[in-house]
Protein backbone atom coordinates (compact mmCIF):
# COMPACT_ATOMS: atom_id res chain seq x y z
CA UNK A 1 0.00 0.00 0.00
CA UNK A 2 2.84 2.35 0.79
CA UNK A 3 4.34 1.76 -2.66
CA UNK A 4 1.06 2.59 -4.35
CA UNK A 5 0.65 5.90 -2.57
CA UNK A 6 3.00 7.94 -4.80
CA UNK A 7 1.28 6.49 -7.89
CA UNK A 8 -2.15 7.30 -6.48
CA UNK A 9 -0.95 10.80 -5.67
CA UNK A 10 0.41 11.21 -9.19
CA UNK A 11 -2.86 10.00 -10.67
CA UNK A 12 -4.84 12.39 -8.50
CA UNK A 13 -2.58 15.22 -9.62
CA UNK A 14 -3.01 14.28 -13.28
CA UNK A 15 -6.76 14.09 -12.91
CA UNK A 16 -6.83 17.50 -11.28
CA UNK A 17 -5.05 18.94 -14.35
CA UNK A 18 -7.51 17.51 -16.88
CA UNK A 19 -10.35 19.98 -16.23
CA UNK A 20 -7.99 22.93 -16.68
CA UNK A 21 -6.79 21.53 -20.01
CA UNK A 22 -10.38 21.16 -21.12
CA UNK A 23 -11.12 24.70 -20.05
CA UNK A 24 -8.05 25.96 -21.91
CA UNK A 25 -9.47 24.68 -25.20
CA UNK A 26 -11.90 27.32 -26.41
CA UNK A 27 -12.96 29.27 -29.47
CA UNK A 28 -12.52 27.64 -32.87
CA UNK A 29 -10.28 24.84 -31.57
CA UNK A 30 -13.00 23.75 -29.13
CA UNK A 31 -15.61 24.01 -31.87
CA UNK A 32 -13.49 21.78 -34.13
CA UNK A 33 -12.80 19.25 -31.36
CA UNK A 34 -16.42 19.06 -30.23
CA UNK A 35 -18.01 18.88 -33.68
CA UNK A 36 -15.38 16.93 -35.60
CA UNK A 37 -15.85 19.37 -38.46
CA UNK A 38 -14.40 22.64 -39.73
CA UNK A 39 -15.73 24.95 -42.44
CA UNK A 40 -13.28 26.39 -44.93
CA UNK A 41 -14.28 29.49 -46.90
CA UNK A 42 -13.12 29.16 -50.51
CA UNK A 43 -13.33 31.23 -53.69
CA UNK A 44 -14.55 29.97 -57.04
CA UNK A 45 -12.33 32.11 -59.29
CA UNK A 46 -9.45 33.62 -57.28
CA UNK A 47 -6.74 32.57 -59.70
CA UNK A 48 -4.19 30.08 -58.38
CA UNK A 49 -5.02 30.93 -54.76
CA UNK A 50 -8.47 29.38 -54.64
CA UNK A 51 -10.74 28.06 -57.40
CA UNK A 52 -13.46 25.53 -58.08
CA UNK A 53 -12.93 22.18 -59.75
CA UNK A 54 -16.68 21.63 -59.95
CA UNK A 55 -18.80 19.14 -58.01
CA UNK A 56 -18.12 20.94 -54.74
CA UNK A 57 -14.35 20.48 -54.98
CA UNK A 58 -11.86 23.32 -54.58
CA UNK A 59 -8.12 23.72 -55.05
CA UNK A 60 -5.33 26.29 -55.09
CA UNK A 61 -2.35 27.57 -53.13
CA UNK A 62 -4.34 28.93 -50.18
CA UNK A 63 -6.72 25.96 -50.17
CA UNK A 64 -3.77 23.58 -49.84
CA UNK A 65 -2.12 25.72 -47.15
CA UNK A 66 -5.35 25.64 -45.14
CA UNK A 67 -5.70 21.89 -45.63
CA UNK A 68 -2.17 21.40 -44.30
CA UNK A 69 -2.79 23.70 -41.32
CA UNK A 70 -6.00 21.87 -40.47
CA UNK A 71 -4.23 18.50 -40.71
CA UNK A 72 -1.67 19.76 -38.19
CA UNK A 73 -4.47 21.00 -35.91
CA UNK A 74 -6.22 17.63 -36.18
CA UNK A 75 -3.04 15.94 -34.93
CA UNK A 76 -2.62 18.44 -32.09
CA UNK A 77 -6.19 17.84 -30.96
CA UNK A 78 -5.73 14.06 -31.12
CA UNK A 79 -8.60 13.62 -33.57
CA UNK A 80 -8.78 10.48 -35.70
CA UNK A 81 -10.98 12.24 -38.24
CA UNK A 82 -11.72 15.84 -39.23
CA UNK A 83 -14.44 16.59 -41.75
CA UNK A 84 -13.62 19.68 -43.82
CA UNK A 85 -16.66 21.38 -45.28
CA UNK A 86 -16.09 23.80 -48.18
CA UNK A 87 -18.18 26.97 -48.23
CA UNK A 88 -17.92 29.20 -51.34
CA UNK A 89 -17.67 32.87 -50.34
CA UNK A 90 -17.61 36.12 -52.29
CA UNK A 91 -15.78 39.41 -51.79
CA UNK A 92 -19.01 40.79 -50.29
CA UNK A 93 -19.91 38.08 -47.79
CA UNK A 94 -16.53 36.59 -46.76
CA UNK A 95 -15.99 38.80 -43.68
CA UNK A 96 -19.57 38.52 -42.33
CA UNK A 97 -19.49 34.73 -42.76
CA UNK A 98 -16.26 34.52 -40.75
CA UNK A 99 -17.63 36.86 -38.08
CA UNK A 100 -20.92 34.99 -37.61
CA UNK A 101 -19.29 31.56 -37.36
CA UNK A 102 -20.48 30.13 -40.69
CA UNK A 103 -16.88 29.94 -41.91
CA UNK A 104 -14.03 29.03 -39.54
CA UNK A 105 -11.08 29.78 -41.82
CA UNK A 106 -11.20 31.72 -45.10
CA UNK A 107 -8.72 30.54 -47.70
CA UNK A 108 -9.18 32.81 -50.69
CA UNK A 109 -7.59 36.07 -51.79
CA UNK A 110 -8.30 38.52 -48.99
CA UNK A 111 -6.15 41.60 -48.49
CA UNK A 112 -5.01 42.19 -44.92
CA UNK A 113 -5.62 45.88 -44.21
CA UNK A 114 -6.07 48.01 -41.09
CA UNK A 115 -9.82 48.42 -41.55
CA UNK A 116 -10.41 44.67 -41.83
CA UNK A 117 -8.18 43.96 -38.83
CA UNK A 118 -10.86 45.67 -36.71
CA UNK A 119 -13.31 42.91 -37.70
CA UNK A 120 -11.22 39.78 -38.29
CA UNK A 121 -7.75 38.33 -37.77
CA UNK A 122 -5.23 37.33 -40.42
CA UNK A 123 -2.63 34.60 -40.42
CA UNK A 124 0.95 35.33 -41.43
CA UNK A 125 1.08 36.71 -44.96
CA UNK A 126 1.51 33.94 -47.52
CA UNK A 127 1.22 35.95 -50.74
CA UNK A 128 2.01 39.57 -51.62
CA UNK A 129 -0.06 40.88 -54.50
CA UNK A 130 0.29 43.69 -57.01
CA UNK A 131 -2.97 45.18 -58.24
CA UNK A 132 -2.83 45.58 -62.02
CA UNK A 133 -5.00 46.24 -65.10
CA UNK A 134 -6.05 43.59 -67.64
CA UNK A 135 -7.21 44.62 -71.11
CA UNK A 136 -7.77 43.05 -74.50
CA UNK A 137 -4.47 42.79 -76.35
CA UNK A 138 -5.79 44.86 -79.25
CA UNK A 139 -7.34 47.59 -77.09
CA UNK A 140 -4.45 50.03 -77.37
CA UNK A 141 -4.68 50.61 -73.59
CA UNK A 142 -1.29 50.54 -71.89
CA UNK A 143 -1.62 52.91 -68.93
CA UNK A 144 -4.00 54.48 -66.42
CA UNK A 145 -4.30 57.66 -68.49
CA UNK A 146 -5.82 55.67 -71.36
CA UNK A 147 -8.74 54.58 -69.17
CA UNK A 148 -10.31 58.03 -69.56
CA UNK A 149 -13.89 57.64 -70.80
CA UNK A 150 -13.73 53.84 -70.51
CA UNK A 151 -15.69 51.23 -68.58
CA UNK A 152 -13.55 49.61 -65.88
CA UNK A 153 -14.65 46.32 -64.33
CA UNK A 154 -13.95 45.23 -60.80
CA UNK A 155 -15.49 42.78 -58.35
CA UNK A 156 -18.07 43.92 -55.82
CA UNK A 157 -16.62 44.08 -52.31
CA UNK A 158 -12.98 44.52 -53.36
CA UNK A 159 -10.69 47.51 -52.98
CA UNK A 160 -9.00 47.54 -56.40
CA UNK A 161 -10.81 50.48 -58.04
CA UNK A 162 -10.28 52.57 -54.89
CA UNK A 163 -6.54 52.15 -55.43
CA UNK A 164 -6.92 53.08 -59.09
CA UNK A 165 -8.75 56.29 -58.21
CA UNK A 166 -6.15 57.20 -55.56
CA UNK A 167 -3.20 56.61 -57.88
CA UNK A 168 -1.32 59.80 -58.70
CA UNK A 169 -1.52 59.09 -62.42
CA UNK A 170 -5.32 58.78 -62.24
CA UNK A 171 -5.79 62.51 -61.58
CA UNK A 172 -8.21 63.86 -64.17
CA UNK A 173 -8.96 60.38 -65.54
CA UNK A 174 -12.72 59.85 -65.73
CA UNK A 175 -13.89 56.26 -66.06
CA UNK A 176 -17.10 54.38 -65.27
CA UNK A 177 -17.06 51.47 -62.84
CA UNK A 178 -18.93 48.28 -63.74
CA UNK A 179 -19.17 45.46 -61.23
CA UNK A 180 -19.02 41.70 -61.45
CA UNK A 181 -20.46 39.58 -58.64
CA UNK A 182 -17.24 37.54 -58.53
CA UNK A 183 -13.91 37.54 -60.36
CA UNK A 184 -15.11 35.24 -63.14
CA UNK A 185 -18.07 37.55 -63.75
CA UNK A 186 -15.78 40.59 -63.81
CA UNK A 187 -13.51 38.89 -66.36
CA UNK A 188 -16.57 38.08 -68.46
CA UNK A 189 -17.37 41.81 -68.55
CA UNK A 190 -13.94 42.36 -70.13
CA UNK A 191 -14.17 39.31 -72.38
CA UNK A 192 -17.60 40.29 -73.71
CA UNK A 193 -16.64 43.91 -74.34
CA UNK A 194 -18.92 45.37 -71.69
CA UNK A 195 -15.76 46.61 -69.94
CA UNK A 196 -12.55 47.96 -71.47
CA UNK A 197 -10.40 46.92 -68.51
CA UNK A 198 -10.52 44.73 -65.43
CA UNK A 199 -8.68 46.00 -62.34
CA UNK A 200 -7.76 43.34 -59.80
CA UNK A 201 -4.96 41.38 -58.13
CA UNK A 202 -2.40 40.44 -60.75
CA UNK A 203 -2.54 36.71 -60.07
CA UNK A 204 -6.34 36.70 -60.33
CA UNK A 205 -6.05 38.46 -63.69
CA UNK A 206 -3.35 36.01 -64.80
CA UNK A 207 -5.41 33.03 -63.65
CA UNK A 208 -8.55 34.13 -65.48
CA UNK A 209 -6.57 34.91 -68.64
CA UNK A 210 -4.91 31.48 -68.51
CA UNK A 211 -8.32 29.78 -68.26
CA UNK A 212 -9.94 31.85 -71.06
CA UNK A 213 -10.66 30.43 -74.52
CA UNK A 214 -7.91 32.52 -76.12
CA UNK A 215 -5.34 33.71 -73.55
CA UNK A 216 -3.38 35.57 -76.23
CA UNK A 217 -6.35 37.93 -76.62
CA UNK A 218 -5.58 39.55 -73.24
CA UNK A 219 -2.65 41.19 -71.48
CA UNK A 220 -1.79 42.83 -68.17
CA UNK A 221 -0.66 46.42 -68.56
CA UNK A 222 0.04 49.70 -66.81
CA UNK A 223 1.37 50.76 -63.49
CA UNK A 224 1.27 48.76 -60.27
CA UNK A 225 -1.72 50.28 -58.44
CA UNK A 226 -0.95 48.91 -54.98
CA UNK A 227 1.02 46.24 -53.15
CA UNK A 228 -1.15 44.13 -50.86
CA UNK A 229 -0.44 41.33 -48.37
CA UNK A 230 -2.90 38.49 -48.97
CA UNK A 231 -3.56 36.19 -46.04
CA UNK A 232 -5.76 33.47 -44.63
CA UNK A 233 -8.55 35.01 -42.53
CA UNK A 234 -10.03 33.91 -39.19
CA UNK A 235 -12.30 35.20 -36.46
CA UNK A 236 -10.95 37.98 -34.28
CA UNK A 237 -9.94 37.46 -30.66
CA UNK A 238 -9.16 33.74 -31.04
CA UNK A 239 -5.40 33.71 -30.33
CA UNK A 240 -5.11 29.95 -29.83
CA UNK A 241 -6.53 29.15 -33.27
CA UNK A 242 -4.48 31.89 -34.93
CA UNK A 243 -1.32 30.55 -33.29
CA UNK A 244 -2.09 27.02 -34.45
CA UNK A 245 -2.55 28.19 -38.04
CA UNK A 246 0.49 30.48 -37.93
CA UNK A 247 2.69 27.74 -36.46
CA UNK A 248 1.75 25.41 -39.32
CA UNK A 249 2.37 28.06 -41.99
CA UNK A 250 5.66 29.17 -40.48
CA UNK A 251 6.90 25.57 -40.42
CA UNK A 252 6.24 25.41 -44.18
CA UNK A 253 8.07 28.71 -44.64
CA UNK A 254 11.06 27.64 -42.56
CA UNK A 255 11.43 24.30 -44.37
CA UNK A 256 11.03 25.86 -47.82
CA UNK A 257 8.05 23.61 -48.51
CA UNK A 258 5.83 26.64 -49.11
CA UNK A 259 7.88 27.49 -52.22
CA UNK A 260 7.22 24.03 -53.66
CA UNK A 261 3.50 24.37 -52.95
CA UNK A 262 3.49 27.78 -54.63
CA UNK A 263 5.21 26.44 -57.76
CA UNK A 264 2.70 23.59 -57.90
CA UNK A 265 -0.17 26.05 -58.30
CA UNK A 266 1.44 28.92 -60.20
CA UNK A 267 4.22 27.40 -62.31
CA UNK A 268 2.84 23.96 -63.22
CA UNK A 269 -0.28 22.99 -65.25
CA UNK A 270 -3.28 22.95 -62.92
CA UNK A 271 -6.75 21.43 -63.17
CA UNK A 272 -9.39 21.44 -64.42
CA UNK A 273 -7.96 22.46 -67.84
CA UNK A 274 -4.26 21.79 -67.14
CA UNK A 275 -3.32 25.37 -68.00
CA UNK A 276 -0.27 27.06 -66.49
CA UNK A 277 -0.60 30.49 -64.84
CA UNK A 278 3.14 31.07 -65.13
CA UNK A 279 3.58 33.59 -62.32
CA UNK A 280 6.81 33.13 -60.31
CA UNK A 281 6.75 34.12 -56.64
CA UNK A 282 7.57 37.83 -56.35
CA UNK A 283 10.44 39.13 -54.26
CA UNK A 284 7.87 40.66 -51.89
CA UNK A 285 6.21 37.27 -51.43
CA UNK A 286 9.57 35.59 -50.79
CA UNK A 287 10.39 38.30 -48.23
CA UNK A 288 7.11 37.58 -46.41
CA UNK A 289 8.06 33.89 -46.21
CA UNK A 290 11.57 34.75 -44.96
CA UNK A 291 10.26 37.05 -42.20
CA UNK A 292 6.73 35.87 -41.28
CA UNK A 293 4.37 38.65 -40.18
CA UNK A 294 0.73 39.71 -40.26
CA UNK A 295 1.30 43.38 -41.04
CA UNK A 296 -1.52 45.19 -42.90
CA UNK A 297 -1.08 46.71 -46.35
CA UNK A 298 -0.69 50.17 -44.84
CA UNK A 299 2.73 49.05 -43.56
CA UNK A 300 3.74 48.10 -47.10
CA UNK A 301 2.67 51.52 -48.38
CA UNK A 302 5.11 53.19 -45.94
CA UNK A 303 8.10 51.66 -47.69
Q: pLDDT for 258-290, tens place per residue?
A: 999 999 999 999 998 898 999 999 889 999 999
More confident residue, 39 or 161: 39
Contact 125, 262 (CB under 8 A): no
pLDDT of residue 302 exceeding 90, the answer is: no
pLDDT tens track for 60-73:
999 999 999 999 99
- DSSP, residue by residue, 91-109: TTTHHHHHHTTS-SEE-S-
Continuous H helices in 100-148: 114-117
How far does CA 160 lie from the centroid of its chain? 15
Contact 134, 220 (CB under 8 A): yes
Q: Residue 22: is it exposed, middle or buried by C-beta count within 10 angstroms (0-12/13-18/19+)?
A: exposed
Q: How far apart are CA 128 and CA 257, in angstroms?
A: 17
pLDDT tens track for 82-138:
999 999 999 999 999 999 999 999 999 999 999 999 999 999 999 999 889 999 999
Contact 67, 21 (CB under 8 A): no
More confident residue, 13 or 179: 179
Chain length of the chain: 303
| pLDDT at residue 209 in the model | 94
Mean confidence (pLDDT) of the chain: 91
| For helices 239-255 and 61-76, angle between their N-to-C axes, nearest 10 degrees | 120
| pLDDT at residue 10 in the model | 42
Average pLDDT over residues 232-236: 98
Q: Tell me the pLDDT band of 301, cut-offs 50, 70 and 90.
A: confident
pLDDT tens track for 169-213:
888 899 999 999 999 999 999 999 999 999 999 999 999 999 899
What are the chain's domains? Answer: 26-126+231-301 (3.40.190.10), 130-228 (3.40.190.10)
67 by DSSP, 3-state: which? helix
Amino acid sequence: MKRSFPLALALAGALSVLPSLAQALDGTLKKIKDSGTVTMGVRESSGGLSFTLGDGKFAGFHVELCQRALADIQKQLGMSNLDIKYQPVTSQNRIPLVQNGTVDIECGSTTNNAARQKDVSFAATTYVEEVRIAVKANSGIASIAQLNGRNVATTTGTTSVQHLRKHQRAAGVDFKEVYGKDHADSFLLLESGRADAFVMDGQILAGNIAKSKNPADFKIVGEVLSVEPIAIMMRKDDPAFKKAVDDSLMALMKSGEISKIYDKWFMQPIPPTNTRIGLPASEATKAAWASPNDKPMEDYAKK
